[in-house]
Amino acid sequence: MGDDTFYISLKNSLKRKLTINLIKDEDFKNLNIEDLIKRVVEDKLNDEIDFNLEKLEKSENKEDIVKKKSNRERLNKTIKLNQDNPKRIDSKAYNRYEKYKSATNYTEFLEAGGNNQDYNYDLEYGNLKEID
């Protein structure tokens, strides 16, 4: 989600939830909604940012496993999927995996019903390997 989309979504949500209550409050009477949103967002961000380094390190390790690649880079890769379906039987993921497990490249993977989330997950957990 882009910054503008996030801001618009937040703005609309705050309008609906806060305007009714805050309009009655004398401290906020002369503020426009943009000023109010800016204050609320700044307060929330300043209070709740978690700088836990352990979480950051885990996040970085995960990105090393699944390197962020553009779809264009993936188009040129030959892939091989584990033919034993590792997903929970009768789940949506299981049914998708059954359809795309015979794919030999990214295009076939998508055409068979796979998506980027499936691709990244299976790559990360070793169910999918990029050969070249």
Q: Model confidence over 87-116: pLDDT tens digits? A: 999 999 999 999 999 999 999 999 999 998
What pLDDT digit, counting tens, does each position of 20-64 carry?
Answer: 555 566 665 666 667 766 776 766 666 555 555 555 455 445 555
Query: Which pLDDT score is estimated for 132?
Result: 75
Query: Which pLDDT score is estimated for 65?
Result: 46
pTM above 0.75, yes or no: no
Phi, psi of 120 (to 5 degrees): -65, -45
Tokens of 40: 């609320």
